[in-house]
Amino acid sequence: MFNEFLGLGFALFNFVLLLIMYKVFGKTGLFAWVAFATILANIQVTKTIEIIGLTATLGNSLYASTFLATDILNEKYGRKEAKKAVWLGFSSLLIMVVTMQFGLQFIPAESDFAHEALETVFGLVPQIAIASMIAYLLAQHIDVIIFSALRKVFPKDSQFWIRNNGSTLLSQLIDTLIFTSIAFFGVFPFDVWIQIFISTYVLKFIVSVLDTPFGYIAKKIRPLDEQEAVR
């Protein structure tokens, strides 16, 4: 049960950090969160773990937190700002992939100890990143569109949980199917791939439900930069 408890604690820790970033830096903090969480999630995803009795990839809670960030932006600042964050996350991931591939081409010194480790991690990243970028763009834009559509039907503050979960659960299903198919289908045996697909979506489902209270907290937060602007 160690991975299960650690995973729960890590997910909650991510949401707390996200709220702190929002409180201190406002919507700029949410943009920054989307950028580095997208990068870190695509590094963590190279590690597989056993959790809830299934084989899963790491990085699910970090990645899922980017959907909470775009939902908060959509809720408080509008669809345009949410889309801007989506493109920022995509651009950050693309830049990371390109720059690290250049970095791997340099011949290491005899005293170097990091090249093989970097090659192991970032050698896998291009295939994973391509899968992630395709899935990310489609899923995040679908999330923004569905959230905006649900907001017209369920506009009340008390109905934020419908907008948040409704948009995230569907977009995450599409994201998981596209990502696992491109990144891992044929890499792992089919039975392992199907476990990764199911466990990845289940974990994202759990994280999506867990992030709802933090979304309500974010709605009540008044960032420091916005407080200073009023003075």
State how beta strands 54-57 and 48-51 pair. Answer: antiparallel
Closest C-alpha among 140, 117, 138 to residue 182: 138
49 has which bridge partners?
56
**Amino acid 64: pLDDT:** 85
Q: pLDDT for 49-75, tens place per residue?
A: 888 777 777 888 898 899 899 999 999
50 has which bridge partners?
55
Average pLDDT, the chain: 87
Q: Is 107 exposed, middle or buried (0-12, 13-18, 19+ CB in 10 A)?
A: exposed
Residue-by-residue DSSP string for 174-225: HHHHHHHHHHHBTTB-HHHHHHHHHHHHHHHHHHHHHHHHHHHHHHH---HH
Q: pLDDT for 125-164, tens place per residue?
A: 667 778 878 888 888 889 889 999 998 999 888 888 899 8
Looking at the predicted structure, is the pLDDT value of residue 231 above 70?
no
**Amino acid 66: pLDDT:** 92
Q: pLDDT for 172-193, tens place per residue?
A: 888 888 888 887 777 778 887 8
Q: How confident is the model at residue 87 (pLDDT cuts 50, 70, 90)?
A: very high
Domain boundaries, the chain: 1-229
Percent of the chain scored above 70 by pLDDT? 96
Tokens standing for 52?
């809830």
**CB count in 10 Å sphere of residue 95:** 12
Q: How confident is the model at residue 204 (pLDDT cuts 50, 70, 90)?
A: confident
**Amino acid 126: pLDDT:** 66
Closest C-alpha among 74, 80, 81, 83 to residue 164: 74
pTM of the model: 0.86
